[in-house]
Amino acid sequence: MTIRTRIAPSPTGPFHIGTARTALFNYLFAKKHGGLFIVRIEDTDKERSKPVYETDILEQLLWLNLNADETYRQSEHLSRHAEVLRELVSSSAAYVSNEQAKDGSGREVEVVRLHNPGAVISFKDLIRGTIQFDTAELGDFVIARSITDPLYHLAVVVDDEDEGITHVIRGEDHISNTQRQILIQRALGYREPAYAHLPLILAQDRSKLSKRRHAVSIAEYRRDGYLSTAIINYLALLGWHPEGEGEILSMQDIISQFDIERIQKGGAIFDVEKLKWFNRQYLLQLSKKEQEDAIVGILSEILKNEIPSFSETVARRIVPIIVERVSVWDDVRQLAHAGDFHFYFMKPALEKTMVMWKNTGVEETRRHLEHLIGVLGKADEDTYEDPGRIKEAVWSYAEKEGRGHVLWPFRYALTGREKSPDPFTITAVLGKEETLLRLNAALDAL
Q: Tell me which residue of 69, 41, 28 sits closest to 235, measured CA to CA.
A: 28
Least spacing, CB of residue 10 vs ligand GLU, in Å: 4
Annotated active-site residue in 124, 208, 211, 265: 211
Question: How many Cα atoms are found within 13 Å in the side-chain-facing hemisphere of 148?
Answer: 0
Least spacing, CB of residue 27 vs ligand GLU, in Å: 14
- Using the minimum distance from each CB to ligand GLU, give the nearer residue, 12 or 440: 12
Residue 331 makes CB contacts below 8 A (sequence gap 6+) with 325
Q: Tell me which residue of 221, 237, 251 sits closest to 328, measured CA to CA.
A: 221
Least spacing, CB of residue 266 vs ligand GLU, in Å: 21
Which residues are 129's β-sheet partners? 125
- Return the residue nearest ligand GLU (CB atom): 170
Least spacing, CB of residue 275 vs ligand GLU, in Å: 23
Least spacing, CB of residue 205 vs ligand GLU, in Å: 24
Report the side by side order of strands in the sheet with 142-146. 94-100, 108-114, 142-146, 149-150
Rg (CA), the chain: 32
Asked if 278 contacts 217 with a C-beta cutoff of 8 angstroms, the reply is no
Alpha-carbon distance of 225 to 227, in angstroms, equals 6
Residue 315 makes CB contacts below 8 A (sequence gap 6+) with 295, 296, 299, 300, 303, 344, 345
- Using the minimum distance from each CB to ligand GLU, give the nearer residue, 10 or 135: 10
Look up residue 348 and give its DSSP letter: P
Which residues are 72's β-sheet partners? 40
For residue 397, report the phi and psi dihedrals to the nearest 5 degrees: -65, -45
- Using the minimum distance from each CB to ligand GLU, give the nearer residue, 10 or 383: 10
Least spacing, CB of residue 173 vs ligand GLU, in Å: 7
Q: Does 211 qualify as catalytic in the annotation?
A: yes
Alpha-carbon distance of 112 to 92, in angstroms, equals 11
Q: Which residues bind ligand GLU (CB under 6 A)?
A: 8-10, 42, 156, 170, 174
3-state percent helix, strand, coil for the chain, nearest multiple of 5: 55, 15, 35
CA dihedral over 273, 277, 280, 282, signed as positive or negative: negative
The CA distances from residue 217 to 18, 60, 199, 401, in Å, are 9, 10, 18, 55
- Using the minimum distance from each CB to ligand GLU, give the nearer residue, 77 or 170: 170
- Using the minimum distance from each CB to ligand GLU, give the nearer residue, 74 or 420: 74
Least spacing, CB of residue 256 vs ligand GLU, in Å: 26
Least spacing, CB of residue 170 vs ligand GLU, in Å: 4
- In the three-class reduction of DSSP (H, G, I as helix; E, B as strand; rest coil), residue 192 is classed as coil
Alpha-carbon distance of 352 to 418, in angstroms, equals 13
- Using the minimum distance from each CB to ligand GLU, give the nearer residue, 43 or 331: 43
Give catalytic residue positions: 211
